Amino acid sequence: MALFYFVVASFPFALYLLTLAYIHGRGVPFVASGRRDFIALCLALFGVFFIGPGQLLVTWGAAAVWGKYAWVLIAALCFLVVLLISSNMRPRIIVYNAARESLRKILTTTAISLDDEARWSGSALNMPGLGVQFYLDPSGIGRAAVIVRIDSNPSQEGWTRFAKELKNAANNAERARGRALCVAFAALGLGLLVADAFCFLQRRDELRDALTFYLSV
């Protein structure tokens, strides 16, 4: 079963790492909403949940009544929980493959194009004319940054407009590849995929039997 656990847990995470490698290899910053980023991370960790906490949620009674379809219900429930959590998170924007200095310039240019009264105050930027205020979270790892909305009277229309203009500005930004992170993510992702492929080709019957046994629990 250990081999089965490894393949199930590592395969979606490997795809996530390859996606990060592609993003950092594009050459321009990549802008994503906080909700989409959170859902993508949850999907990457789905295999870990499937072989761990997920099994605890499938009781013997549910398995006896629904059989393998109990897992479908658990997956649907988990997806709804992820959507609920992401919907209640403070609105944020994730920017990948951008150095902190260049991102600040992009934010400044975008903010001034939308609101002449836009001003920085430390790590926070206020656009009173647009009804948007946010801060640049310094806790981002590597070439990733988090922009968190903090205005007390938020304007959803203004925030949506700002996010759209920021994405356009990021696509037109100066190309500067995050080669080191691209290579690191690609190496890890490909390494896991090669290991998964090797396990599948060498132990196909064992993995199939393990999956059948796991779903029948």
Query: What does the DSSP assignment read for 80-119?
Result: HHHHHHHHHSPPEEEEES--HHHHHHHHHHHHHHH-TT-E
126-182 per-position pLDDT tens digit: 998 888 899 888 666 667 889 999 876 666 888 889 999 999 988 887 766 657 888
Yes or no: say if 207 and 126 are a contact pair by the CB < 8 Å rule. Answer: no
DSSP 8-state code for residue 152: S
Q: H or E stretch including 205?
A: helix 204-216
pLDDT at res. 100: 79
Side chain identity, residue 24: H
Distance in angstroms (rounded) separating the CA atoms of residues 140 and 92? 13
Bridge partners of 127, per DSSP, are: 132
Measured CA to CA in angstroms, residue 135 lies from 9, 139, 150, 164, 210 at distances of: 35, 12, 7, 17, 48
Residues 6 or more apart whose Cβ sits within 8 Å of residue 166: 31, 93, 95, 106, 107, 110
171-217 per-position pLDDT tens digit: 887 766 657 888 899 999 999 999 999 988 888 888 888 777 666 65
pTM of the model as a whole = 0.82
pLDDT at res. 55: 60
> What's the CATH fold of domain 92-175?
TATA-Binding Protein (3.30.310)
Q: Provide CATH 3.30.310.80 ranges for the chain.
A: 92-175
pLDDT at res. 63: 54
Q: Mean pLDDT over all residues of the chain? A: 83
pLDDT at position 60 over 70: no
Distance in angstroms (rounded) separating the CA atoms of residues 69 and 92? 36
Yes or no: say if 185 and 18 are a contact pair by the CB < 8 Å rule. Answer: yes
Side chain identity, residue 184: A
